[in-house]
Structure 1
Amino acid sequence: MKLFAVVLLSAALLSGCDVSFNKSTPKVTASDPGTQLQQQQIFDAALAFLVLLDAGKADMTWSVVSPTFQAKIPEPVWVNGLKALRIGLGSFNKREPLGFGFTDQMPDAPAGHYAVIEFASTFATTAVKEKVILRDDDERWGVVGYFVHKSITFGGDDKKAP
């Protein structure tokens, strides 16, 4: 019952936040692959953020969040949302980048230069796709969104619905 209350409270707190679990990722066309230097910069920024999450340090991620995003959401909502996303995943095992993209158009966001990076990640209990959205804040890439997409398969591959 306590876990249910925590999940319910977390869902209420997340309703205005760009942190999600199985929620639709914003429809972003980030087809510009960017330069190799830009790709390395966003990879490093996303990995710094994810390493903190993997270590159970969601409260320390606020320092890598974009100032633009910090102005939109209170720190406790961000931190609690991240903690809620990790419930049930278990400990981190491995992560592989799936792709990069850059865009100047992000739905419901201020004008700016954004990057999207997606990872195939494996945790103790499941495999997921993680998507990190970053914003170029002139001096650094800051996190503005984090999405976890978990697929659940029931039964074996050979079973078909009636």
Structure 2
Amino acid sequence: MKLLAIVLCSVVLLGGCDISFNNSTPKVMASDPGTPQQQQQVLDTAVVFLELLDAGKADRTWPAVSPVLQAKTSELVWVNGLKALRLGLGTLHKREPAAIGFTEQMPDAPAGKYALIEFASTFSTTTVREKVVFRNDDQQWRVVGYFFNKSVTFGGDQQKASQP
């Protein structure tokens, strides 16, 4: 019952925040692959951000958030939203970059340079596709969105194991 109350409170607090759970991610075509140097910068920044989340340190991610997002939400809403979103994922087992791209067109966002990076991630309780969206603010990539979609497999390995 406590868990349900926490989740409901978090949902109420998330109004207007760019954190998503099983919602479709922004419809963005990041057709520019960028340079290898840009890709590495975004990958490194995303890894640092995700490692903080994996370690349960969502409160330490606020400095990595773009001023654009900071103007739309509060630190309390951001941190509690991240904690609620990742509740129940368990321990990270594996995370692999799946796609990276750059664009200057972001729906409902101010003009700027944006990067999107997607990871295929396996946790102890589920598999997800994580997407982190960054904005280039003063030559630094800063977070403007974090999304993930869960994958559910019914009968997967157990079904295979029981076949002769």
Q: TM class by shorter-chain length?
A: over 0.9
Q: Which amino acid aligns with 1:77?
A: V
User: Is 1:145 aligned to residue 145 of structure 2?
Assistant: yes
| TM-score (normalised: structure 1) | 0.93
C-alpha contact 2:117 2:131 (8 A) present in aligned 1: yes
Q: What 5-or-longer segments of structure 2 have no aligned partner? A: none
Once the 2 structures are TM-superposed, how far is the Cα of residue 139 of structure 1 from its aligned partner? 2.5
Once the 2 structures are TM-superposed, how far is the Cα of residue 73 of structure 1 from its aligned partner? 0.8
In the TM superposition, 1:78-157 aligns within 5 A as 78-156=78-156
Q: Which amino acid aligns with 2:21?
A: F
| DSSP 3-state at the match of 2:100 | strand
CA RMSD of aligned residues (A): 1.3
Task: Quote the sequence identity (%).
Answer: 69
In the TM superposition, 1:52-63 aligns within 5 A as 52-63=52-63
Q: Which amino acid aligns with 1:60?
A: R
| DSSP 3-state at the match of 1:28 | coil
Q: Which amino acid aligns with 1:55?
A: A
Q: Which amino acid aligns with 2:83?
A: K
Q: Which amino acid aligns with 2:120?
A: A
| DSSP 3-state at the match of 1:133 | strand
Tell me the equivalent position of 1:10.
Answer: 10
C-alpha contact 2:22 2:149 (8 A) present in aligned 1: yes
For residues 66 and 155 of structure 2, what CA distance do their matches in structure 1 show? 42
Q: Which amino acid aligns with 2:56?
A: G
C-alpha contact 2:127 2:152 (8 A) present in aligned 1: no
Q: Which amino acid aligns with 2:78?
A: W
Q: For this pair of structures, how many residues does the alignment match? A: 158
| DSSP 3-state at the match of 2:61 | helix
